Amino acid sequence: MREFLSKVDLTLLEASATPDDFTAMAGIACETGCRAVCVPMIGIYPSSLAIKKWSSDNPMRPHRVKVCAVIDFPDGNLTTMSRIWLVNNAGFSGAGECDIVMPMGRFLSNKLESLEFEFRRLMEEAGDRGVVLKLIAETGYLSDSQIIRSAEFASKYNFMWKTSTGRDPKVQIPEKARHVRLVREAFPKLKIKAAGGIRTREDVEMLFDAGADILGVSWKSAIQIADNW
């Protein structure tokens, strides 16, 4: 169970989430040894503050909990300069990682020069801030060849690759596992995060078996999975 949690990004992206919710989730992540907390921009500060407070209150219990900000959620339709600014601001505010949604319209219409420019600039901006990036592919929109192309971008620009935001279009866990395996076989060294709809131990095991390195799981689902491990 501890090994499972050490590879989980506890996630809270609901519009109704309050600062107290982010604080509570960060405390649980520290207490249980989760990998990270995954939050919207507004959740960075309360999460960072809660992690610092937990560390101060528990000096003999070191942890590695990171704050991961989700950028341009859920649609990926902001301008390049807006997305670059958000990554910079997330790093300045305390995020060590950013999960950034693929600009799907540009990707599907093969605006590859635009994407190359953006990913290069994002990589530079993140590097200046010491922020790790993950590219959210939203595989429910993509064919197998497009999934591979998205992972190729991630690999080229030193991003991790992430399956989805968990919003529409929904992808069932067996199909999500197939997508993970497809990318793992094509890019053996690429770090892969699977997310969206993970609710049971069977889901967890299927995705890890397919080759996922990290799982994004809603904080309440992760607690239930751990309790029933």
Whether 134 is catalytic is no
Please name which of 228, 215, 227 lies closest in space to residue 173, comparing C-alpha atoms.
Answer: 215
Q: How far apart (Å, rounded) are the C-alpha atoms in residues 194 and 183?
A: 11
Beta-bridged to residue 215, according to DSSP, are 8, 194
Does 193 qualify as catalytic in the annotation? yes
* Position 111 pLDDT exceeds 90: no
Write down the pLDDT at residue 229: 84
* Mean pLDDT on 21-46: 97
Confidence of residue 115 (pLDDT cuts 50, 70, 90): very high
What value does the mean pLDDT of the chain take?
95
CB atoms within 10 A of CB 171: 22
Tell me which of 9, 99, 134, 176 is the catalytic residue.
99
Q: Which of 72, 162, 176, 203 is catalytic?
A: 162
Is the pLDDT reported for residue 77 higher than 80? Answer: yes
SS3 of 163, please? coil
How does pLDDT run across 157-176, given as a tens digit for each residue? 999 999 999 887 889 999 99
Average pLDDT of the segment spanning 35-52: 97
pLDDT band at 81 (very low <50, low <70, confident <90, very high): very high
Confidence of residue 62 (pLDDT cuts 50, 70, 90): confident
Q: Tell me what pLDDT residue 54 has.
A: 95
Q: What is the pLDDT of residues 180-210, one digit of tens each?
A: 999 999 999 999 999 999 999 999 999 999 9
Domains of the chain with bracketed CATH = 2-227 (3.20.20.70)
pLDDT of 127-155, one tens digit each?
A: 999 999 999 999 999 999 999 999 999 99
Q: What are phi and psi of 66, to 5 degrees?
A: -105, 160
Please tell me the predicted confidence (pLDDT) of residue 105: 92
Q: State the pTM of this model.
A: 0.96
Q: Is 156 a catalytic residue?
A: no
Q: What is the pLDDT of residue 20?
A: 98
